[in-house]
Amino acid sequence: MNTMTEDIDFVVTWVDSSDPDWMAQYTKYRGTRHSEDDARYRNWDLFKFWFRAVEEYAPWVHRVFLVTSGHYPKWLNLNNPKIVLVKHEDYIPTKYLPTFNSRCIELNFGRIQGLSEHFVYFNDDMFLNAPITPDYYFRHGLPCDSPAENIMNATRYSPKDFFGISISVFCNVAVLNSHFNRKDVVKASILRWLGPHLSLKQNLYSIMMMHSELFQGFDLHHTEQPYLKQTFREIWDAESFFLDKSCTRFRQDVSLTPYFARYWQLASNNFSPVKLSACKDYSVTEQTIDRVIASIFNKRIKSLCINDSPDCSKEFYLQSSKRIYDAFSRKFPQKSSFEI
């Protein structure tokens, strides 16, 4: 049952790493041309399917805010009344620009003019995969989420990906603990932190942590995320120092990420507890590509993240991107109203 009466917007970020202006700026500030093998910028040419999925599976969305450095897909229908084009310079403070750091772009979402108080943030590799209702994201005005916790385990260093996101995840939790006492948070709303929306293991862990004053970590779901716009105002009011240090031109390991805003919502008890089980997240490798293709046609999966990976070589990227493109073409053969 839909308990939302407020507008819900979608925010999606996109970059075209082949755009000449973007390349020129990247080269100027980085000192070297960006690598075509860099998984953070590689273009899989799937973005039009993101819009087709939104139109088919979430026609109720109020508006789609497309955030870019200033360029946009040539096939995009700019006359669609649901499209709002947002350049980095429209909302990110000038001192941070130009930026090639997705964390800087994301942590400033609260400054976007006209964005609804309730919004869902997507990377351009996160696709709706089946029909979605507004209460999948918000119930009683609060973002749906699971407070499933974990113990932050040691990770492995990789020459390709260094430490991944492990250091920034540690930063998110450490800074959260400087503002919240876990024991007080749970005591204030215990049914959010215990219950059927959590697995047996997660409930047991929550009970074991009952008297702990520190959060240890949260299960990571690399999928679209519902947010309250006020959350971004709150984190900047409370932690402007570390957020400012995180808004670098290029990504740094020691920084906060948008997951910090998610954690803030959890620690503020500003969420509606749900069981998160209808989404899948894949890094594209030779071991996962068949599962990726199968998942595209599995309507039990509500949303699907198809994530590029440093382990995906240029040769395999070319092969797998064609297979994924062909699969989406079969699933969404018709243009959406977002396309010319």
Instruction: Identify the CA nearest to 219 among candidates 237, 241, 201, 233.
Output: 201
Binned at pLDDT 50, 70 and 90, residue 1 comes out as very low
Binned at pLDDT 50, 70 and 90, residue 249 comes out as very high
Does residue 36 carry a pLDDT above 70? no
Rg (alpha carbons) of the chain, rounded to whole number:
20
- As a whole-number percent, the residues of the chain with pLDDT over 90 amount to 71
Q: How far apart are CA 229 and CA 231, in angstroms?
A: 5
* CA atoms within a 13 Å half-sphere pointing along the CA-CB vector of 189: 12
Q: Is the dihedral of CA 293, 295, 298, 304 positive or negative?
A: negative
Q: What is the pLDDT of residues 140-160, one digit of tens each?
A: 999 999 999 987 665 667 776
Give the model's pLDDT for residue 35.
Answer: 55
User: b vs e for 257-282, b when ≥16 Cβ sit within 10 Å of the residue's Cβ?
Assistant: bbbbbbbbbbbbbbbbbbeeeebbeb
Give the model's pLDDT for residue 3.
Answer: 58
Instruction: Identify the CA nearest to 338 among candidates 52, 90, 143, 146.
Output: 52
Q: Is the dihedral of CA 328, 333, 338, 339 positive or negative?
A: positive
Question: What distances in angstroms separate CA 275 from CA 131, 147, 170, 272, one per listed residue?
Answer: 18, 9, 24, 10
What would the CATH number be for the domain defined by 8-331?
A: 3.90.550.10
Mean pLDDT of all residues in 186-207: 94
Instruction: Identify the CA nearest to 324 among candidates 339, 311, 308, 340.
Output: 308
Instruction: Identify the CA nearest to 50 among candidates 123, 117, 111, 102.
Output: 123
* H-assigned helices in the chain: 20-30, 47-57, 88-91, 102-107, 166-177, 182-188, 190-193, 200-208, 229-238, 240-246, 259-267, 289-296, 314-331
Whether residue 3 contacts residue 139, with contact meaning beta carbons closer than 8 Å, is answered with yes
Q: Which residues touch 100 (CB under 8 Å, ≥6 apart)?
A: 25, 26, 29, 30, 249, 250, 251
Greater confidence, 160 or 285? 285
Give the model's pLDDT for residue 285.
Answer: 83
* Residue matched to tokens 């749900």: 274
Give the model's pLDDT for residue 38.
Answer: 56
Does residue 279 carry a pLDDT above 80? yes
The domain segmentation of the chain, as residue ranges, is 8-331
Strand, coil or helix: what is 292? helix
Q: Which residues pair with 230 in a beta bridge?
A: none
Greater confidence, 284 or 185? 185
Q: What is the pLDDT of residues 25-35, one digit of tens each?
A: 989 998 876 55
Greater confidence, 102 or 283? 102
